[in-house]
C-alpha cells in the first residue's frame, strides 16, 4: 500500500521525499534506473519527513524489532526503532557479522545474494518490522521475512521508501503487508 492511498494523499512531505531521490540511469547495470536515496539523506527535511511518516504509522503497533536490510535499511531503521521504542536488528550481507549467524539466500533483480542475522538477536513471539529503501522483485524482503520467521518472530509489515506501482514483489512476501512512501522517479531524456 502506498502512503498516498492511506490518508497521506496530497501530503507535501511525500513530494519532498520523491524530489530528494536522485535517479541514476544504467546503474548498477544497463537498463536499471537506480533510485539513489543518498541524496534524500543530504536533505535533512526530506530525511526527517521519511522517518516521521514511518514512525507515525508504526508507533502504536507494539513492534519490538525493527530489522533493517543492509545497507540502506540501516539508514532509516535505527531512527524508526528509537522513536517507537524497539530494538534495531541489522540484516547483513554474508560474513559481516561476528559470531553465530543464521542465513537466507535469495535472488535479486540482477543477481543473487544472502542475508544474515545474529543468532539470539530476535526472540520467538517478537513483533517485527522490516525496513528497506526499495522494493522491486521482493526477493530481499522475502528473505528478510523468512529469516525472522525462522526464529519465531511475527513479521507485522515491511516498509520501503520507494516501490514500483505494480509492486510485483508483493506476492513474494507471503501475504505480509507492504507500506511504501513513494513511487520510483523517472528522468527525462536519460536513454
Closest by alpha carbon to 187, among 28, 40, 22, 42? 22
Concatenated DSSP letters of 129-157: EEEEEEESSSHHHHHHHHHHHHTT-EEEE
Residue with cell 516501490: 163
Residue 75 main-chain phi, psi, to 5 deg: -80, -25
Residues 65 and 63: their CA atoms lie apart, in Å, by 6
Catalytic (active-site) positions: 72, 109
Closest by alpha carbon to 17, among 163, 131, 162, 129? 162
The three-state secondary structure class of 96 is: coil
Residues 184 and 167: their CA atoms lie apart, in Å, by 11
Amino acid at each position: 500500500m502506498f502512503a498516498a492511498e492511506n490518508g497521506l494523499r496530497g501530503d507535501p512531505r511525500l513530494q519532498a521525499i520523491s524530489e530528494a531521490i536522485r535517479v541514476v540511469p544504467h546503474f548498477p547495470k544497463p537498463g536499471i534506473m537506480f533510485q539513489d536515496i543518498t541524496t534524500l539523506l543530504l536533505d535533512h527535511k526530506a530525511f526527517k519527513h521519511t522517518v516521521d511518516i514511518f514512525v507515525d504509522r508504526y508507533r502504536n503497533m507494539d513492534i519490538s524489532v525493527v530489522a533493517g536490510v543492509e545497507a540502506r535499511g540501516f539508514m532509516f531503521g535505527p531512527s524508526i526503532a528509537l522513536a517507537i521504542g524497539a530494538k534495531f536488528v541489522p540484516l547483513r550481507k554474508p560474513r559481516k557479522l561476528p559470531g553465530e549467524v543464521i542465513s537466507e539466500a535469495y535472488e535479486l533483480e540482477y543477481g543473487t545474494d544472502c542475508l544474515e542475522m545474529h543468532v539470539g538477536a530476535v526472540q520467538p513471539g517478537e513483533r517485527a518490522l522490516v525496513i528497506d529503501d526499495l522494493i522491486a522483485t521482493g526477493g530481499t524482503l522475502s528473505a528478510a521475512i523468512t529469516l525472522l520467521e525462522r526464529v519465531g518472530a511475527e513479521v507485522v509489515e515491511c516498509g520501503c521508501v520507494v516501490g514500483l506501482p505494480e509492486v510485483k514483489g508483493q506476492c513474494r512476501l507471503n501475504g505480509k503487508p507492504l507500506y511504501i512512501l513513494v513511487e520510483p522517479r523517472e528522468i527525462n531524456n536519460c536513454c
